[in-house]
Structure 1
Amino acid sequence: MDFELLTIQDCPHSSAARELFSRAAELEGNDPALIEVRQITTDEEAEASGFHGSPTFMVDGIDLFPSMAEPAMTCRVYRTAGGLSGLPSLESLRQAIQARPAP
């Protein structure tokens, strides 16, 4: 699996997102060192990447949390048991990784 974390400059959740993605990948039997972190810098790049806000968690080029929102250079929120948050829960991220079909 190819893991990629997409962020924007000055995203307040970038570091925590990287730690969360690393933990989830590791718990699912993947090497967290293989996670690529890429900063989205233009609207055109957001469009081409299917980027719906920072942070975006991708596996094999697919957003783990599909969104109907237009691609945008913005912050992203996730639904959690505690309400909206800048990060998904570890459990929901693990479930999203598990749900990805094998290549």
Structure 2
Amino acid sequence: MATIELLHIADCPNSGETLLRLQRAAAKTMPTNTSVKSTLIDSAETAARLPFAGSPTILVDGVDLFPTDGRTNDLACRIYLTPNGMGGAPTQQQIEAALAAYG
């Protein structure tokens, strides 16, 4: 069973919607006993210990689901390339496709 985790900062305007999308995508594409964990990144030290690329970052088994060279210790927001241009979160379909490709 995969471990799915959403890393986010407290003031991220996109973390709530991303968590909902991730939970729906996991329910559709992963085994039924797969859970999604949400982890608050509250300091640069915490960010440095994790593969954090900005908020929100989705990890599956500790690996960024949307790999980038942009690891950061800054408590900052992340930008994703979506079919509709740049956005603060991947789309539902992007998350589903990435999870399906992972599993």
TM-score, length basis structure 1: 0.88
Alignment of 1:99 onto 2:84: no
Q: Deviations over 1:31-86 (max 9, x none)?
A: 48721100001112112101010011111111101111131310001101110001
Q: Percent identity?
A: 35
Give the match for residue 6 of structure 2: 5
- Say if 1:23 and 1:32, in contact at 8 Å, map to a contact too: no
- Cα distance change on mapping 1:19 and 1:82 into 2, 3 Å: same
Give the match for residue 89 of structure 1: 91
Give the match for residue 70 of structure 1: 71
2:38 is paired with a residue whose SS is strand
Displacement of 1:29 after TM fit?
A: 3.5
Q: Which structure 2 residue ranges, 5 or more long, are not aligned?
A: none
Give the match for residue 23 of structure 1: 24
- Say if 2:3 and 2:34, in contact at 8 Å, map to a contact too: no
Aligned residues: 101
Q: Deviations over 1:13-46 (max 9, x none)?
A: 1210110001110110344872110000111211
Aligned-partner Cα distance in 1 for 2:20–2:70: 25
Aligned-partner Cα distance in 1 for 2:34–2:99: 16
Letter in 2 for 1:14: S
What's the C-alpha RMSD, in Å, of the aligned pairs?
1.7
